[in-house]
Amino acid sequence: MSTLADTKTLLAELIGFPTVSSDSNLHMIRHLAERLSHCGAEIEVWHDETGTKANLFATLGPKLDGGIVLSGHCDVVPVADQDWTSDPFRMEERDGKWFGRGACDMKGFIAAAVAMASHYAALDLQRPVHFAFTYDEEIGCFGARALAETLREKGLKPAVAIIGEPTSMRIIEGHKGCYEYTTHFTGLEGHGSGPDRGVNAVEYAVRYVSKLLELKEDLQSRAPEGSRFEPPWTTINTGALVGGVAHNVIPGKARVEWEMRPVQKSDADFVKGALHQFCAHMLIPAMQLVHPDAEIKTEVIGEVDGLTPMEESEARDLVMELTGANGADVVPFGTEAGIFQGLGMSVVVCGPGSIDQAHKPDEYVSVDQVKQCLGMLERLASKLV
């Protein structure tokens, strides 16, 4: 069987695992572990605290530092309320495209990488190649963060990571961070006819959002000189403000769901510091003047650092050589790449399919894109011997 045909078969199998982030990924992890084990890879499976999710870390070649990591996440976004023309968890081929949930984000890359494993295993590898497949990227990169901690504890030190997110096989050397929060407001309920006797959680949430909008404007002046991002500054988005039960009831609960995409970590510190001061010195004292138990608490959903472009980058130079590209780009969307970079690795993002298809109904990866990816991975073999 050709590598492309093997990739197609494996991708169909992977799409068949409905690994929505709310559900377990263990069946997919076991399937990948079995495939890689048959190639002679050393397999490590590390579960989360619930036992329903797991990361897979597999190694071919010598037990040395300085290896190359091929990484992807197993989870996919939900298909509920999406208008698919075919079963999202059964791959279909139409017009040179492979359709299915996760086809490009990012089971296409995982299938291509694992399909290449038997080829790597047949070589006299002088440099290890690692396969890192994670859980819960879509809801906060929790799997990659756990994986990074495990690698740190075990003293494993790969040198290069290629994160196969869908980039249309462009080399991405930088992206913004993604920090997500839910801020909870607890006030005091009461009858709408006596607003001074209660603490209106929705009104305080509105004041909080107004502060977010003020900071959103301030961040534009903090854009680093020469920033390549679009837009070049850190952004803030208010995703939801939820609270209240009726027209005539003072709402005692509210929440604001929001995110920021930092260009630089100092911007995140600036925003968090300003919000802390605003709440501690303005909002909370006013709330507790009426009700001592009133409070504002911010829940961290996820804080994923960005990928910082580096002047010297082994990963960028390597993948440029493998793909024939003559440059690298930056993107506004986030990936797990910054987590790997935080371990001291040189990292790029490069994979088959377009981000424009990710998360949408009738998600697909084109066969041509998968062929390009396989070409890159085939040429990688010469860097491992």
Closest CA to 261 of 228, 298, 231: 231
Query: Within a 10 A sphere around the Cβ of 244, how many other Cβ atoms?
Result: 16
The separation between the first and the last C-alpha atoms of the chain, rounded to the nearest angstrom, is 24
Residue type (1 letter), 149? E
* Nearest one of 312, 344, 341, 339 to 328, comparing CA atoms: 312
Residues with catalytic function: 75, 137
DSSP 278-305: HIIIIIHHHHHHH-TT-EEEEEEEEEE-
Give residue for tokens 């604001």: 256
**Which helix (H) or strand (E) element contains residue 320?**
helix 314-323
Q: Indicate left, alpha or beta for 150 from its phi (over 0: left) and psi (-120 to 50: alpha).
A: alpha
Q: Which of 329, 296, 322, 325 is nearest to 375 (CA)?
A: 322
For residues 131 and 117, is the Cβ–Cβ distance under 8 A? yes
- Given CA atoms 72, 77, 79, 82 in this order, what sign does their dihedral have? negative
In 10 A of CB 237, how many CB atoms? Answer: 12
Any residues with CB less than 8 A from the CB of 246 and at least 6 apart, and which? none
Cα 363 to Cα 7, 83, 132, 293, 357, distances in angstroms: 17, 11, 23, 48, 5
Q: What phi-psi label fits residue 332: left (phi over 0), alpha (psi between -120 and 50 degrees) or beta? A: alpha
